[in-house]
Structures are given as structure tokens and as C-alpha cells.
Amino acid sequence: MLKLLNMTSTKKIRVAVLYGGRSGEHEISLQSAASVIRNLDKSRYEIIPIAIDKGGRWLLNDIKLLQDPGKTLPVFKDAPPVVLSPSSDGHEGSLIPVNGVANFGKAQKFDVVFPVMHGPLCEDGTVQGLLELADVPYVGCAVLASAVGMDKEVSKRLARDAGLPIVPYVAVRPAAWSRDRAAVVARIKKETGFPVFVKPSNMGSSVGVHKVKEEGALDAALKDAFKYDLKVLVEKAVNAREIEVAVLENPDASGAPLVTVAGEVVPTHEFYSYEAKYLDENGAKLMIPANLDEKQMARARELGGAVFTALECEGMARIDMFLDKDTGGFFFNEINTIPGFTSISMYPKLWEATGVPYAELLTRLIDLALDRHGRKHALAREYKP
Ligand SMILES: Nc1ncnc2c1ncn2[C@@H]1O[C@H](COP(=O)(O)OP(=O)(O)OP(=O)(O)O)[C@@H](O)[C@H]1O
Ligand SMILES: [Mg+2]
């Protein structure tokens, strides 16, 4: 019996859950990962929790200490630091104790990585690049789509190139603003008019986002946004409903991406600001499904799927859109390639509402990761004429 138990347990897929990370969204990640760990199917998966602390160290946590994770995961400061070692066979990855195997016993092996971290240095292709170098399977978008998705301006350009609707904007850099302010203002007046939203291109959580009603307030908003990024979008303000869909890669590579029903975020503040997102418990209401007519619902799902394809996404993404209350038109706003995964987050909730329970969603994501890695690994890496 003992032997049998061992045999089944060794067959479990070992999932390294990466959480924390070196971004402003570290704490959100602790909540997302707690809920991923709680919902992963324990009969299929062995969980290896890896915390990335704010200094960037990878710490191998003990799953036994996280057996019943609460709402948020701890980062144990005295857990052994590990580094990722390149896979020797293109399948199994290894985490090597920084102080050497001799001091800590053996390396920790795993089969697939599930990054559950948000924001820069987590979701923007950097960690994904490291995982590519290590030649190990991982959940979610690869390097290209992750990097594109973190840059709101480049995502918009790709969507526009695919003929998808975006809100008119002007991209402003600090040098242009200090050198030729009049020319920038003239462009803004021509392309967007006022009011506008000023936002850093590579940020998140509404940090540095300002609604600017007249020209006189532009300078202060731009200066604040330049604290966070060297490229800032000045975007026409839309009288918007905020509509979101969750997307999964189709396991049939020839098929269209799978898209959920649309949900809606209804902020109780002037817009979906940092305060509305994180400081005010009643800062926003999530409506699932969104109260849309049949045509609008179909349009939202179609646009979400089209953005996923245009931005070369793999695995998963949440697509955020605006529905213009004045014209009824939809616009693509932004993409999140590692969306929030807390138990009240839109991404898992939208899938639940579309008939895919949380645990099954995680299983599908891991299957997609293993499958993609297999396909990529099979590609020729040498040219033999
Ligand atoms: N052009 C716009 N018109 C109307 N409202 C806008 C516009 N741009 C931004 N907003 C408001 O500001 C909020 C934050 O902007 P946005 O979603 O672009 O960035 P972010 O939320 O900081 O990014 P992330 O979702 O990646 O954290 C939106 O949810 C919306 O409420
Ligand atoms: Mg947003």
C-alpha cells in the first residue's frame, strides 16, 4: 500500500508557483497566489511555492507551512534562497540552493512554473525570458506578448494595426514636454481635445493616472506621470462603462481563442483610481455578467478575442475595454497578461460564470503550458543544410 501511494504521488505534476515579485503589486500577488494554491487540484499537482521577495531573491517555501493558505501568503524570510538552473532535458527544471546543494540537501525539481505575479519585473517578459533561458514550461504569455502587454502604447499600436478600435491618444516624452510644450499641446488639442486621461505607459493599478479637464492642469499631471515612466499617454477621456473579458488560448491551435461572458467594473469614484481599487472597500462593484444587450455582449467577446490574437498572446489574458455611453462604440483599453487571481478577481470569476470552475481553469492553464513547451521544444534549433 505504501509503495502504491508513493507511486501515485511521484506521478503528480510538480508546479512551482512563483509569487510576490519586485513590483508595486507584490501584496496583490500574495493574495492571488494564496487563492491559486488553494484551488489547484491536489490530486494532480504537487505544489512548490517560491516567494520572490522585494529585493528579488527567490525563496523556496515549505508547502507544509502553507497547507491552508489564508487570504494572503507569507514570505518566509528565512526560507532557503534558490536560483533557477537551466533544464538538462528541456522538461524538468531545477531550483538550486544558493548556498550549494551540499548545505541544503538536493535541488528541488519541478515540471512547470506558474507565475502569479503582477506588474513590471513579473508580468512584463523579464521573468518569462528567464524561464525561456532555463527551457522550462510556464503558464501564460511568452516574452513577446508579456512585454507588449505591459506597454499600453505598444499594445494600442498593435491593436490599431489589426483594425481594432482604440481611444485617440498622444504619447509624450519628458524631453519633448520640456523642449517644445506648445507643439505638444497643439497635438493634444488636435488629436484628443479636453478632458484627457494622463497615464504612464508602463504602469498599473492606476498609479500616476490623472483626469485632466483643462490645459492649465496638464503640466502637473504630466510631471507626476513622468515619475513612473518616460513615456506617458495623453488620451481622450471617454464617457465610459468599463467592460472586461477573460481569454484562454484554444487548445486546438487552429481554433479561435476562448472568451468568457463580459463583466463590468462600476467604480463609485470619478474613475477607477488607485483609491477605488485598493483603499476603498466599496470603491467599485463587479457585475458578472455585465448588463449588455445581446449585440453588445457579442461585440465585447469578439473584440477581446481579436485583441488576444493581435497581441500574439498565449495561455491567458484579461482584456479591458471601454463602452462609450455616448456613441455605443467599444474601445480596447488595456491587457493584463497575468490578471488578478484572488477569489474575488474578475479573471477566475468570469470563467466560473462561463462554466469553467476555478480548479479546472488552473488545470487548463497548466495543460496549455506543457503543451506549448512541447511544441516549442520540438522546433529545430540548428540548421543542417
Ligand atoms: N481614456 C479614458 N477615458 C475614461 N476613463 C479612463 C481613460 N483612461 C483611463 N481611464 C480610467 O482610469 C482607470 C485606469 O486607467 P488604465 O486602466 O488605463 O490603467 P491602469 O488601471 O493603471 O492599468 P492596470 O489595469 O494595468 O493596472 C481606468 O480603469 C478608467 O477608470
Ligand atoms: Mg486598468
- Closest ligand by atom to 149 CA: 1
What pLDDT is stored for residue 232 in this prediction? 97
The ligand 1 atom nearest the CA atom of 119: 26
Per-residue confidence (pLDDT) for residue 3, from 0 to 100: 43
CA-nearest of 147, 194, 154 to 171 is 154
- Beta pairing partners, 46: 14
CATH classification for the domain delimited by 2-139, as one of 3.90.76.10, 3.40.50.20, 3.40.1350.10, 3.40.50.720: 3.40.50.20
The CATH code of domain 150-165+239-365 reads 3.30.470.20
pLDDT at 299: 98
**Spatial CB neighbours of 345, under 8 Å, sequence gap ≥ 6:** 32, 35, 339
Q: Is the pLDDT of residue 120 over 90?
A: no
Compute the distance from residue 274 Cα to the ligand 2 centre, in Å. 10
| Residue 103 pLDDT level (bands cut at 50, 70, 90) | low
CA–centroid distance, 333 to ligand 1, in Å, is 7
Ligand 2: centre distance to CA 138 (Å): 25
2-139 and 169-236 have identical folds: no
Distances in Å between the Cα of 384 and the Cα atoms of 197, 380, 381 are: 53, 9, 10
Q: What is the mean pLDDT of residues 173-198?
A: 96
| Residues 169-236, CATH architecture | 2-Layer Sandwich (3.30)
Q: Which residue has the higher pLDDT, 78 or 153?
A: 153
Average pLDDT over residues 353-364: 98
In this model, does residue 277 exceed pLDDT 90?
A: no
Which triple of cell numbers denotes residue 115? 507565475
The pLDDT assigned to 323 comes to: 98
Domain segments of the chain: what residues? 2-139, 150-165+239-365, 169-236
pLDDT for the residue numbered 101: 58
Question: Which ligand is nearest to the Cα of residue 151, counting in written order?
Answer: 1
287-317 pLDDT, tens digit per residue, is 999 999 999 999 999 999 999 999 999 999 9
* Per-residue pLDDT at 276 exceeds 80: no
Residues annotated catalytic, as ranges = 25, 205, 278, 318, 320, 334, 336, 340
Looking at residue 1, its pLDDT comes to 42
pLDDT at 43 over 80: yes
pLDDT of the residue at 63: 80
Q: What is the pLDDT of residue 189?
A: 96
What are 208-227's pLDDT values in tens digits? 899 999 999 999 999 999 99
Q: What is the pLDDT of residues 60-87, one digit of tens each?
A: 988 877 777 778 888 888 888 999 988 8
pLDDT in the model for residue 112: 97
What is residue 196's DSSP assignment? Answer: E
Assess whether pLDDT exceeds 90 at residue 25.
Answer: no
Which position has the higher pLDDT, 323 or 102?
A: 323
Ligand 1-lining residues (CB < 6 angstroms): 167, 197, 199, 203-206, 209, 235-238, 240, 242, 267, 271-272, 320, 333-334, 336
pLDDT for residue 347 is more than 80 = yes
Q: Look up residue 362 and give its amino acid.
A: L
Minimal CA–CA distance to 17: which of 39, 43, 36? 36
pLDDT tens digits, 125-139: 999 999 999 999 999
